[in-house]
Amino acid sequence: MVRVIADLQIHSKYARAVSSKMDLFHIVEWSEKKGINLTATGDWTHPLWFKEIQKNLEEVAPGIFAFKKSVLKDKNLIYGFKARFVLSTEISSIYKQGDKLRRIHTLIFVPSVQSAERINTDLINRGCNLFSDGRPIVGLTVQQISEIVLEIEPKALIIPAHIWTPHFSLFGSRSGFDSVAEAFGQFEKYIYAIETGLSSDPIMNWQVKDLDNRRILSFSDAHSGPKLGREATVFYAEDLKSFDYFDLYKAIKGQKSNLRLGFTIEFFPEEGKYHLSGHRACQVSLEPEEVRKQNGICPKCGKPLIIGVKDRVRDLSARVFKEEDLEFRANANGVVFVRDKQGKRVPFVSLVPLLEILEEIESSKTKAFAKYNQLLENFADEFSILLDKPISEIEKFAGPLLAKGINNLRQRKVSLISGYDGVFGKIKVLDYIEKPDEVETQSKLF
Ligand SMILES: [Zn+2]
Ligand SMILES: [Zn+2]
């Protein structure tokens, strides 16, 4: 069995606020630096990007794409460039349902260029401006989108994206719904999975009854190469070429296939920029108990707080997972996997991007980035460094500080400052201080 690390949500240079370097070459280059085996095109709804996809990629297994050999030859890139793609896009729906304005982002995956093309044509015929943004904003409801997509492509995957972010998501405090059924209506049964976003981890999602029978997936939503894989979903397969789109489809649907859902790679949710409630301008961030005490009002400016993911998850949770409901078990490399004791869910590991660890060690961001590139070029890809390489080898190659940092990270010995209202949190791996009464760091999770 091999590990297939998949990052299936990314954006192209045609989407707003995305690096102008995000073309297909750049995406594959960074996928390889990270150790990602399966990535996504993103943005196939954008006509110019769709042309680039067709010009450069070819189908190598049903619904799986890779660079055309002729393209790589022209660019002298015949070595490497093994990462493969699936066709993905993200649609931003803005509409009124009930009295509320809803803003929801939804990922769509299809197995063929033809299906993508037909969906694009249908969306254009309904007045959607697909040129406006790689992540098009449409006035269609998520039910209308599901209907259009599934009628054209019954094997499409429809996955609500970063479902907890306050402003643009299925469960968002400012934008969404309280249940999948309320949003998707009769199409609820086709929502096999959700994507957690950076500010929530699987434990938080396991608490929500509506997600009991849905797969919990994680992807990066990268807007630039270095951000690829900051979250990812890991499958197991016989080898890297032994699966196709329909295996992915089945795995995400919860059925047996040549791909088996293994685990997810997560941010510590505190690092996400909407973890706690607060106000960025007021520099106020509050834990849920405090938010309740303040009745959701900012103690500094008196206006309603931006309710973060931690609060929102509590509101929608049917149960609260305590330490005794969870199991923390390290593998042979010392990487701690978190599982639910009942074994109903796939486990996860929490990581901090390697570049951030180096920024904690090096004296400047420039030096950290130089060291980062040197490690990826001469030592190993990022996931191998974070998950696989023996600590002794890391120490030999990159010094004792990085070895210590990665060792701490693998054991979840980190210190956390939570993000809020668009401000990223901070995770430090070197200044973790073990309290005498604390055998493990598990309690830090709550
Ligand atoms: Zn989005
Ligand atoms: Zn305020």
- What pLDDT digit, counting tens, does each position of 101-150 carry? 999 999 999 999 999 999 999 999 999 999 999 999 999 999 999 999 99
Contact 357, 429 (CB under 8 A): yes
Which residues have C-beta within 8 Å of that of residue 194, sequence separation ≥ 6? Answer: 159, 160, 163, 170, 180, 205, 211, 214, 215, 216, 217
169-195 pLDDT, tens per residue? 999 988 999 999 999 999 999 999 999
pLDDT band at 440 (very low <50, low <70, confident <90, very high): very low
Q: Compute CA distances 151 → 122, 128, 136, 146, 156, whole Å.
A: 11, 18, 20, 8, 9
pLDDT band at 268 (very low <50, low <70, confident <90, very high): very high
pLDDT band at 6 (very low <50, low <70, confident <90, very high): very high
Q: Which ligand places an atom closest to the C-alpha of 11?
A: 1
Q: For position 80, what pLDDT does the model report?
A: 67
Q: For position 108, what pLDDT does the model report?
A: 98
| Cα of 92 from ligand 1 centre, angstroms | 7
Torsion angle of alpha carbons 163, 43, 34, 254, nearest 10°? Answer: 50
| Cα of 165 from ligand 2 centre, angstroms | 19
Q: For position 444, what pLDDT does the model report?
A: 45
Type of residue numbered 112: S
Q: Which residue has the higher pLDDT, 207 or 78?
A: 207
Residue 57 has pLDDT above 90, yes or no: yes
Assigned architecture for domain 2-271: Alpha-Beta Barrel (3.20)
| Cα of 297 from ligand 2 centre, angstroms | 8
Residue 9 has pLDDT above 90, yes or no: yes
Q: For position 238, what pLDDT does the model report?
A: 95
- In whole angstroms, give the CA distance from residue 130 to residue 291: 40
Residue 292 has pLDDT above 70, yes or no: yes
| Cα of 164 from ligand 2 centre, angstroms | 21
Q: For position 445, what pLDDT does the model report?
A: 46
| Cα of 104 from ligand 1 centre, angstroms | 8
Residue 18 three-state SS: coil
| Cα of 321 from ligand 1 centre, angstroms | 28
| Cα of 282 from ligand 2 centre, angstroms | 5
| Cα of 72 from ligand 1 centre, angstroms | 31
Contact 94, 2 (CB under 8 A): no
Per the prediction, the chain carries an average pLDDT of 93
In the predicted model, what is the mean pLDDT of residues 193-199?
A: 93
Domain ranges of the chain: 2-271, 277-316, 354-445
- Angle at CA 62, nearest 5°, toward 58 and 64? 55
| Cα of 10 from ligand 1 centre, angstroms | 9
Q: For position 435, what pLDDT does the model report?
A: 56
Q: Which ligand places an atom closest to the C-alpha of 299?
A: 2
In the predicted model, what is the mean pLDDT of residues 403-427?
A: 95
pLDDT more than 70, % of the chain = 96
Residue 220 three-state SS: coil
Contact 186, 151 (CB under 8 A): no
Q: Which ligand places an atom closest to the C-alpha of 42?
A: 1
Q: For position 322, what pLDDT does the model report?
A: 87
Q: What is the largest CA-CA distance in the chain?
A: 65
Q: For position 105, what pLDDT does the model report?
A: 97
| Cα of 197 from ligand 2 centre, angstroms | 25
- Angle at CA 167, nearest 5°, toward 165 and 173? 70
| Cα of 295 from ligand 2 centre, angstroms | 13
Q: Which ligand places an atom closest to the C-alpha of 298?
A: 2
| Cα of 352 from ligand 1 centre, angstroms | 21
Residue 443 has pLDDT above 50, yes or no: no
Q: Which ligand places an atom closest to the C-alpha of 421?
A: 2
Q: Which ligand places an atom closest to the C-alpha of 306?
A: 2
Q: Which ligand places an atom closest to the C-alpha of 278?
A: 2
pLDDT band at 336 (very low <50, low <70, confident <90, very high): very high
pLDDT band at 78 (very low <50, low <70, confident <90, very high): low
| Cα of 336 from ligand 2 centre, angstroms | 38
Lowest-confidence segment of 271-275, 326-330, 435-439 by average pLDDT: 435-439
382 φ/ψ sector (left φ>0, alpha ψ -120 to 50, else beta): alpha
| Cα of 25 from ligand 1 centre, angstroms | 22
pLDDT more than 90, % of the chain = 88
